[in-house]
Amino acid sequence: MPSESAQELCLGYLREEILSGRLPPGSRIRPEQVATHLGLSRMPVREALHQLDAEGLVTLRPNRGALVTELNRRDLMEIFEMRALLEGLCARHAARLATPADIEELDAEAQAMRRVARDPARWVERHEAFHDRLCLLGDRPRAAAEARRLRLLVRPLLRGFAAVERDPETLGHEHEVIVDALRDGDARRAEKLAVLHVNANAHALLGLIPAPVR
């Protein structure tokens, strides 16, 4: 198997293990175990771990090896603040650039999310698809890529939230309100609503994490 293909296999496997929660935050990743499981040498596993470290999903520490990154409340707040700015930017440009067909496809993603609200794993997938499409409609590929990277960092937490909520949508900040702003071509409102939507998500998800004891 070519080295690049082996690395991609390791990346895909480890990323899914982390994002699904099967490897929870703080877990130690042992390259030799991953290599044995996948039937590969340790080299592509190590290369994959360096890539995941760059993405923020893994933390490489001297003498401790690779650990699944643990995010505290401060980390999460910063991630959501950055996401809000980036997705607001993309939504503003999307309101100016999206065609009626684009907007209807985005609305279809929102409706698909509604239909699978009782299935946490599928809801998270549709949620990702909606936000990916929204960001790409703004024709800001770097902002869209960074927003996606930030969303991946909190995906395990989002899965946990979706699993305990009958309706994961935050009242008043549903995805459909952003679609309506795009349909109206209102760039300023689209940006504001996207920021408010992400901030509402932050408030809901951070509610799952105990506040630090003072």
User: 213 in a domain, yes or no?
Assistant: no
CATH of the domain at 169: 1.20.120.530
Res 207: pLDDT: 80
Asked if the model's pLDDT at residue 1 lies above 50, the reply is no
Last residue of a domain, one of 68, 91, 110: 68
117 shares a domain with 46: no
% pLDDT > 70, the chain: 96
Nearest to 170 by CA among 135, 205, 133, 125: 205
Asked if the model's pLDDT at residue 157 lies above 90, the reply is no
User: 20 in a domain, yes or no?
Assistant: yes
Helices (H), 56-186: 73-97, 100-115, 120-137, 141-153, 155-164, 175-183
Q: Which of 64-78, 110-124, 154-168, 187-201 has the highest mean pLDDT?
A: 187-201
Q: What is the pLDDT of residues 47-61, one digit of tens each?
A: 999 999 999 999 998
User: 211 in a domain, yes or no?
Assistant: no
Confidence at 193, pLDDT banded by 50, 70, 90: very high
The span from the CA of 40 to the CA of 30, in Å, is 13
CATH of the domain at 14: 1.10.10.10
- As a whole number, mean pLDDT of residues 170-188 equals 91
103 shares a domain with 88: yes
Question: Domain total for the chain?
Answer: 2
DSSP string, 90-108: HHHHHHHH--HHHHHHHHH
Asked if the model's pLDDT at residue 37 lies above 90, the reply is yes
Burial (CB count <10 Å: 0-12, 13-18, 19+), residue 112 = middle
User: 62 in a domain, yes or no?
Assistant: yes
Last residue of a domain, one of 68, 92, 111: 68
Range of the domain at 81: 73-206
170 shares a domain with 77: yes
157 shares a domain with 89: yes
41 shares a domain with 105: no
pTM above 0.85, yes or no: no
Last residue of a domain, one of 53, 68, 83: 68
